[in-house]
Structures are given as C-alpha cells and as structure tokens.
Amino acid sequence: MIKNTFSYLKNDIPSSIVVFFVALPLCLGIALASGAPLFSGLIAGIIGGIVVGALSGSSIGVSGPAAGLAAIVLTAIGTLGGYENFLVAVVLGGVIQIVFGILKAGVIGYYFPSSVIKGMLTGIGIIIILKQIPIFFGYIAPKSENTFLAILNTFNNIQFGPFFIGVVGLGILLLWDKVLSKKGKIFKLIQGPLVAVVVAIIFYVLTKSSDVLAIANAHLVSVPVPDDISSFLGQFSFPNFNIITKPEVWVIAFTLALVASLETLLCVEATDKLDPYKNVTPTNRELLAQGTGNIISGMIGGLPITQVIVRSSANIQSGGRTKMSAIIHGFLLLISVILMPTLLNMIPLAVLAAVLLIVGWKLAKPELFKKIYNSGWKQFVPFVITVLGIVFIDLLYGLGIGLMVGIVITLRNSYKNSHFLHKEGENVDDGKIKMTLAEEVTFFNKGAILKELDSLPKDSFLELDVRKTRFLDNDIIEILEDFAFKAKERNITIKLVSERGIVENPPSYIEFFKLRPKSV
C-alpha cells in the first residue's frame, strides 16, 4: 500500500507542478474577465485544489474558477451592485449545489451524448489556442476586441522579446514531450513546463536592459504583492449578507448553482473518458464537494468554482494518478501567493501561453476530427455543431445546440427503428405483410407506425408480431385500437402474435394489452 502510494506520488508531484503553471494564469485571467479582483481568482484556485480536491471522489479532476462562468459573474456583479453583494450569491449557490447532491442530481451529465462531450473538449481546446495566440506574440488585446479581431491585430503588434521567449518555451515543451521524457526518469520528474518557466524568468532578468529583447511589465504575470500580513489579509473580501432577502440574489445564486453543476458534471464525464485508467467519479459526491468549495470560496472573497477541463486534462496529460495532484497544486498556489509573489511577477505571459497552446492542441488534435468523421454523420454532426457553437458563441450555447441536435438525431433513429416491416411469399403482391415491433415502442414512434398502417392496401393480411416487445406505450395501443376500426372498412385482416398466443382480429387492443403480465 505504502509502496503504491509512493509510486503514485512520483507521478502526482510533477503533474501538480504542471497544473500549477496552467492554473496560475487562468485564475488571474478569469478574474480579470469577470470584472472581479485578481486575488479572487487565486482564492478560488486554492480552494478548488485543497478543499474540493480533498472532498471529491475524482482521481484526476482539478477544480477552480471557470471561464464558462465569467460572463455570468461580470453581469451579476453589476446587477447586485458590488462584489461583496455578489459573494452572497456564490455562498447560496454552494448551498443549492449541496442540495442537488443530496437529491442525487449527479446523473444529469450521463444524458449528454459522447459526441457532444468530445465536441466540448475540442471546442475548449480551440478557444484556448485562439486566445493564447496574441499573448504568445506579445500583443495584449484591449477588452473591447473579440478573439478573432485580436488575432488579426496581433501581426501588426508583435513584440520581439515575448515572442522570442514564447518560441523558446514552446521548443522546450515539445522537446520534453516528444524526446526527453522517453530518455530517463529525471525528465519525467522534472517537467517541461517548469524548465520553460525557469528559463523564461532567467531570460527576463538578463534582458531587462536590452532595447530589443526586454519584456515590459504588461507582458508579465501580475500577482498582488502585499507589504505585510495586514495588507495580505486586506486582499480578502467578505459577503454582505444584508442583501440576502433580495429576490435577484437568489435568482443569480440558482443560476450559478445550475450552470456550475452542469459544467462540473460534463467535465467529470469528459475527464473520466480521458483518464487512461478509466476511474469513475461519483457525481453526487462531486456536487457535494463543489458546493462546499463554493461556500468557502464565497465566504472569503473567491470566485465560483467548478471542475475545469483545461486543468484536469493537463493533469491527465502529465501523468497524474490520484487526487493528491489537485491538492498539491492548491498548496503550490497558496505558497506562491504568500512567499514569492515577486518571483511570480517575473514570469512572461508568453511562456505560459506556450504551455496552454500545448494543452489546447492535445484537446483539439486534427486526428480527432477524422476519427469522428469515420464514425458516421450521426456522431460527426453533433460534434461539429458543438465545436462551432462553443467557438463562435460560448460554452453553454454550444453545449445546448449540440445537445438539441443529438436529441433530434436520436428521435429520428427512434422514429425509424420502432418496427420492421416486410412482405412475405414469392409474390410480394399477395397481400401478406408482417410488422415486427421493437423491444421498446414509445410515443416518439407514433408517426412512423401510423404512416405504415395507413399505407396498407385494402384486402391485405397483416401479421403484427409483438413477441420481442417489452414496453408498448399507451399512445401506440390507441393507434392500434383506432386502426382496428379502419381495418374492418378496408377488409384488412390482422393477426396479433404475442407470447400469450395468436389472436386474429382482436376485439379490443386496449383490453388485450391491459391483461398482459410482464410482457405483451
């Protein structure tokens, strides 16, 4: 047992370092995009790692502030009139998530088709790549620019210093991933992102006085640097519970709880699929863990928390095996904020962009498009629509559109596969027709069955086989009851074949199926 734990930690410690360097810029960037204090993103990252990591049943999931909630947070802060008021909604949202967990609502994520989940992963990967391109080239886009406009403006605003260290960092990452990691244990223990960041800090220090290679402060990580303990504690915010009776607080709290829970459950489903060891995360326990994390985060000034696919996939890609990876990354965030904020502020954003470019590429490899295309259009269409929706609109709209397309395809399949119809005998025009119903026939199949029955010619013979049918919706029974009346007028003979025997022209289908014991 101890040997296995030590063996896992040899993977978890290096992977936690990778996740730390992925999480740090994301925590700051999401806070900036949310219109919240930068420190709030770090608080959420620390709580998501230590608290949620400890309570969660996921072996490889990593929690923290989520980009998918940034727009909701930005609007909510304005609606509620301040960040302290918004924190009340975060705390209440956590309470609602705990209620979801108690009510066993964790199964919701299982009802999303795998093509939609893969589309979510790919869409997020593409967004990561697109958003990091300007930073990689040394262009800090203003808030008013969307992602695509920022990319266009990037090539007229390339800063050589950030771009150079970004290329160097990317080269180190690729060399480590493709070559050195296979050469010896030392290259697995010391991870490529750590080396790239150390090299970048040294580069920044050595080129401060250079006219060409110097990196401006705007292109560096920006973590608050407290002067003493009181100024450090002064960075925390606390909820203003005086507004707890306002209806809009509860509306925003429920919205946060619902969206955060859905994002978490979809991330759980996605990370379980990515996990090479195929661990299965208990979803209801995950909701309880996330709710607890959001209560604590909201109480001390942090952003809302979800399990997040970028950090989770980075954890998987770097060899994380147990929840210790997430917990250690949380402690690394805490230690870095307390002990070395000045050192963190020497890290060029371009090298962190290089780390994220690798993460995004692994989520959105072109080979995945080819693989899903070869699986058939029923998988490919929801996948592509989900990707396009996430990239061009946002995460929730993309998932919603992809899910709707998946449902339509499922209903279409259900419509087509409710029954099997064929004509018997050497002469296909002899009027003998056999219809075999599927194992489950629901109201979704009404249109297909009604169309087949109405198309039967006069003076024909229909054998209706329900021996394999285990569930027959009452709507279908009513269709058969109505058709029996029409059949007499069109001189159509009906032979009903079931496990209970054969009945010709049954007087009442409703009475016949009402008497069935366990099957029709």
* Final residue in a domain of this structure, among 321, 346, 364: 364
Q: Give me the chain's average pLDDT, please.
A: 84
User: How many Å apart are CA 420 and CA 432, to the nearest integer?
Assistant: 14
The arrangement of strands across the sheet holding 432-437 comes to 419-423, 432-437, 461-465, 493-498, 501-504
pLDDT-derived band at 96 (thresholds 50, 70, 90) equals very high
Number of neighbouring beta carbons within 10 Å of residue 208: 10
Residues of the chain above pLDDT 90, percent: 32
Given this model, what pLDDT does residue 85 score? Answer: 96
Given this model, what pLDDT does residue 337 score? Answer: 87
User: Tell me: the pLDDT tens digits for 134-189?
Assistant: 999 999 888 778 888 999 999 889 999 999 999 999 999 899 878 887 777 677 66
Residue 377 lies in a domain: no
Residues 341, 466 share a domain:
no
Among residues 82, 9, 84, the alpha carbon closest in space to that of 320 is found at: 9
Given this model, what pLDDT does residue 258 score? Answer: 86
Residues 6 or more apart whose CB falls under 8 angstroms from that of 358 comprise 170, 173, 174, 177
* From 49-58, 134-143, 220-229, 397-406, the region with the lowest mean pLDDT: 220-229
Residue range(s) defining the domain that contains residue 343: 2-364
Residues 445, 304 share a domain:
no
Residue 140 lies in a domain: yes
CA distances from 240 to 81, 84, 157, 296, 509 (A): 11, 5, 43, 15, 64
pLDDT-derived band at 381 (thresholds 50, 70, 90) equals very high
Cα 128 off chain centre by = 14
Residue 395 lies in a domain: no
User: How many Å apart are CA 392 and CA 519, to the nearest integer?
Assistant: 49
Inter-axis angle of helices 474-489 and 446-454, nearest 10: 10
pLDDT-derived band at 18 (thresholds 50, 70, 90) equals confident
* Final residue in a domain of this structure, among 364, 382, 401: 364
pLDDT-derived band at 517 (thresholds 50, 70, 90) equals very low
Given this model, what pLDDT does residue 472 score? Answer: 80
Given this model, what pLDDT does residue 498 score? Answer: 83
Residues 423, 281 share a domain:
no
DSSP code per residue over 337-397: HHH-HHHHTTSBHHHHHHHHHHHHHHHS-HHHHHHHHHT-HHHHHHHHHHHHHHHHT-HHH
Residue 388 lies in a domain: no
Given this model, what pLDDT does residue 1 score? Answer: 40
Residues of the chain above pLDDT 70, percent: 91
Looking at the structure of the chain, the number of domains it has is: 2
User: How many Å apart are CA 388 and CA 26, to the nearest integer?
Assistant: 23
Residues 268, 140 share a domain:
yes
User: What mean pLDDT is predicted for residues 268-274?
Assistant: 86
User: Tell me: the pLDDT tens digits for 199-256?
Assistant: 999 999 999 988 889 999 989 987 778 877 888 888 899 999 999 999 999 999 998 9
More confident residue, 501 or 262: 262
CA neighbours within 13 Å on the CB side: how many for 315? 35
Strand partners, 434: 422, 463
Given this model, what pLDDT does residue 519 score? Answer: 45
Look at residue 427 and tell me whether its pLDDT is greater than 70.
Answer: no
Residue 237 lies in a domain: yes
User: Tell me: the pLDDT tens digits for 118-133?
Assistant: 888 788 788 888 888 9
Residues 431, 353 share a domain:
no
User: How many Å apart are CA 220 and CA 233, to the nearest integer?
Assistant: 24
Residues 271, 165 share a domain:
yes
Strand partners, 494: 462
Given this model, what pLDDT does residue 100 score? Answer: 94
Do residues 224 and 39 make contact, with C-beta atoms less than 8 angstroms apart?
A: yes
Look at residue 431 and tell me whether its pLDDT is greater than 70.
Answer: no
Paired tokens of 349: 């954003």
What are the DSSP E strand ranges found in 466-516?
471-472, 493-498, 501-504
Look at residue 426 and tell me whether its pLDDT is greater than 50.
Answer: no
CATH number of the domain within which 488 lies: 3.30.750.24
pLDDT-derived band at 417 (thresholds 50, 70, 90) equals low
Paired tokens of 198: 């150390």
Number of neighbouring beta carbons within 10 Å of residue 417: 13
Phi, psi of 362 (to 5 degrees): -70, -25
Helix, strand, or coil (residue 471)? strand
User: Tell me: the pLDDT tens digits for 315-327?
Assistant: 888 888 899 999 9
Single-letter amino acid, residue 506: P
User: How many Å apart are CA 4 and CA 226, to the nearest integer?
Assistant: 41
pLDDT-derived band at 423 (thresholds 50, 70, 90) equals low
* Final residue in a domain of this structure, among 364, 396, 411: 364
Given this model, what pLDDT does residue 299 score? Answer: 97
Single-letter amino acid, residue 441: V
Residues 332, 425 share a domain:
no
Look at residue 505 and tell me whether its pLDDT is greater than 90.
Answer: no
User: How many Å apart are CA 180 and CA 173, to the nearest integer?
Assistant: 10
DSSP code per residue over 415-430: HHSSEEEEE-SSSTTS
Residue 432 lies in a domain: yes
Paired tokens of 500: 């209970």
Paired tokens of 55: 């309570």
Q: Cα dihedral angle (259, 262, 264, 265), rounded to 10 degrees?
A: 170
Residues 212, 70 share a domain:
yes
Residue 435 lies in a domain: yes
Residues 339, 257 share a domain:
yes
Name the strand (E) or helix (H) holding 465. Answer: strand 461-465
* From 46-50, 95-99, 386-390, the region with the lowest mean pLDDT: 386-390
User: Tell me: the pLDDT tens digits for 449-476?
Assistant: 888 888 888 888 888 888 888 778 787 8
* From 40-54, 197-211, 337-351, the region with the lowest mean pLDDT: 337-351
Residues 180, 289 share a domain:
yes
Phi, psi of 347 (to 5 degrees): -80, 120
Single-letter amino acid, residue 507: P
User: How many Å apart are CA 281 and CA 289, to the nearest integer?
Assistant: 12
User: What mean pLDDT is predicted for residues 30-55?
Assistant: 90
pLDDT-derived band at 520 (thresholds 50, 70, 90) equals very low
User: How many Å apart are CA 511 and CA 503, to the nearest integer?
Assistant: 13
Given this model, what pLDDT does residue 485 score? Answer: 82
Residues 454, 342 share a domain:
no
User: What mean pLDDT is predicted for residues 38-67?
Assistant: 93
Given this model, what pLDDT does residue 2 score? Answer: 41
User: How many Å apart are CA 52 and CA 292, to the nearest integer?
Assistant: 7
Residues 424, 352 share a domain:
no
Residue 387 lies in a domain: no
Among residues 307, 390, 349, 297, the alpha carbon closest in space to that of 315 is found at: 307
User: Tell me: the pLDDT tens digits for 355-366?
Assistant: 888 878 888 888
